[in-house]
Amino acid sequence: MATSRLLRPAAAVFAATALLISGCSAGSSPPDPDASGVAREGGAERAADDGDAPVLNPLPTAVPGNLRPYYDQKLSWHDCGVAGFECATMKAPLDYAKPGADTDLKLAVARKKATGPGSRIGSLMVNPGGPGGSAIDYLTQYAPQPAAVRARYDMVAMDPRGVARSEPVECLSDKQMDSYTQTDATPDNPAEVTKLTRSYRAFAKGCQARSGKLLGHVSTIEAARDMDVLRAVLGDKKVTFVGASYGTFLGATYAGLYPSRVGRMVLDGAMNPALDSRTINIDQTTGFNTAFKAFADDCVKKKDCPLGTKNAEDAGKQLSALFKKLDAHPAETGQARPLTESLATTGVIAAMYDEQSWPLLREYLAQAKAGDGRGLLTLSDSYYERDLDGTYANQMYANPAVNCLDLPSTFNSPEQVRAALPNFRKASPVFGDQFAWSALNCAYWPAKPTGTRHRIEAKGAAPIVVVGTTRDPATPYIWAKGLADQLASGTLLTYVGDGHTAYGRGSDCIDSAINTYLLDGTVPPKNKRCT
């Protein structure tokens, strides 16, 4: 079962397999959002922003005395074992309201100093999203900043609290996680509903047992406060930041809390913090549907398309038929784990993040139709960050830990999911059920949510560049428009194309605009669009 609200750039999705893959969803698709920022949800228009949400208020600029030891700490840097990178450990309070050395968290930080030529501008922090993605892995392996940017900045990453090297949230054994990922996330009868809810409860219970004290303190607001401590420790007056996917929510939150400390900030594949969790899930379901239409339109033009050569709507029906077949008769994979409907759906969802994957996706769908599930299982494993030896990274544990704390649950009971299924199916006939039932996971979470939806205006902040891709499956374009509109200094940069996020993915227009902004502060022209 795919975890709800999992947001990350394509390179980070496929760290385990080094694959570049992209997009699928199903059925008829809504038209692309236009420059007005209006999109359609199940045939109805809604504005890109949600103006009735309260505004996130800035924190006081003065550092409280009880937090001064954290801001004044000195990092001890050492070789990371990766060429040119240094690592260190930064202390942060578990609870900013009650700091105390006996509960301090140890957060992992990495950097690569500016290489020159040219004068050093400062530190550039990066975050790849998730929530739960390792910023350090992203920096050392995938960060797209070109040589000209790396020459002028110390490149810096910190794994957020609860993630990877920074006090990671843990929940299940690897064998238990294997079982969890195979649970049928589109139940057809009461017995399957019971099995699914038991799975969610067992997952939550495992997280409580292994990471209890941490679960109430991995919110995005707390992670943003950690960023400010890191800023001070690095000796920077302002934060320069490039965030992708969920990393845009983290960056925007920082801007809302500390507007006067914002330097140059790029938010690529943006989220809209003013939305509630239900709207987020419906929008994302629609986004994956849009991505599928793009894939299907391309696929049906080819003689070898495993979903037929008729049209995108028929291709969606054929994909649904394949999932139904796997629900009844999972495909062999050469492993003890057959390809179930749930794993196959997750594999296709994983393949939505980068359009360069379309040939690979066609191949793996053809294999699955012939009874060979190895390809789609590989994609599913890459999404879950499951290594070949059967071990899982912590991203799938950190992801719900952050999401369930940041916003109240979309649904609180199976009955509420059933009532919402028509809307989700309208958003995506193939994937609607999967997204709706997956949104139930927070209902059983042991830590009560501490966050609510809010507008982020960040009045007084330096110009912030918000990047949106028109057919982005995971962070729909309407979200970028909404965030750019609410930020007092926001500028929208649009990529007209496919895939999740835009920077460093092949558009010279996008890359040039962002690199120029990072290097000399020149903001892209208003409403600039790139193809």
Neighbours of 260 (CB within 10 A): 13
Order of strands across the sheet that contains 262-268: 78-79, 86-92, 105-112, 153-158, 122-127, 239-244, 262-268, 464-471, 490-498, 528-530
Do 54 and 318 contact (CB within 8 A), yes or no? no
Please name the amino acid found at residue 347: G
Q: What is the DSSP letter of 421?
A: H
Amino acid occupying residue 415: E
List phi, psi (to 5°) of 279.
Answer: -65, -40
Q: What are the CA-CA distances from residue 84 to residues 124, 153, 155, 249 (Å)? A: 16, 14, 11, 29
**DSSP state, residue 463:** P
Among residues 354, 315, 243, 289, the alpha carbon closest in space to that of 11 is found at 354
**What tokens appear for 411 in the block?**
């649904």
DSSP 7: B
72 tagged catalytic: no
Amino acid, single-letter form, for residue 491: T
Active site includes 245? Answer: yes
Give 305-317 as a 3 state SS string. Answer: CCCCCCCHHHHHH
Dihedral sign for Cα 36, 311, 187, 13, please.
Answer: negative
* Contact call for residues 320 and 430 (beta carbons, < 8 A): yes
Provide the residue type at 168 as one letter. Answer: P
| Tokens of residue 375, six digits | 């390809």
User: Which residue is catalytic, options 123, 166, 245, 428?
Assistant: 245
Q: Which residue of the set 123, 178, 381, 500 is catalytic?
A: 500
User: CA dihedral defined by 121, 122, 128, 131, rounded to 10 degrees?
Assistant: -150
Q: Which helix (H) or strand (E) holds 524?
A: none
Reduced 3-state DSSP string for 372-400: ECHHHHHHHHHHHCECCCCCECCHHHHHH
Q: In this structure, how many other beta carbons lie within 10 angstroms of the beta carbon of residue 365?
A: 25
Phi, psi dihedrals of residue 35, rounded to the nearest 5°: -65, -20
- The conformational region for residue 397 under phi > 0 = left, psi -120 to 50 = alpha, else beta, is alpha
For 503, phi then psi, to 5°, come to -70, 130
**What SS3 class is residue 118?**
coil
| Identified catalytic residue from 268, 472, 498, 511 | 472
Q: Could you tell me if 397 and 156 are in contact, meaning their C-beta atoms sit under 8 angstroms apart?
A: no
DSSP per residue, 34-91: -TT--EEETTEEE-SS-TTSPBPPPPPSSPPGGGHHHHT-----EE-SSTT-EEEEEE
Residues marked as catalytic: 245, 472, 500
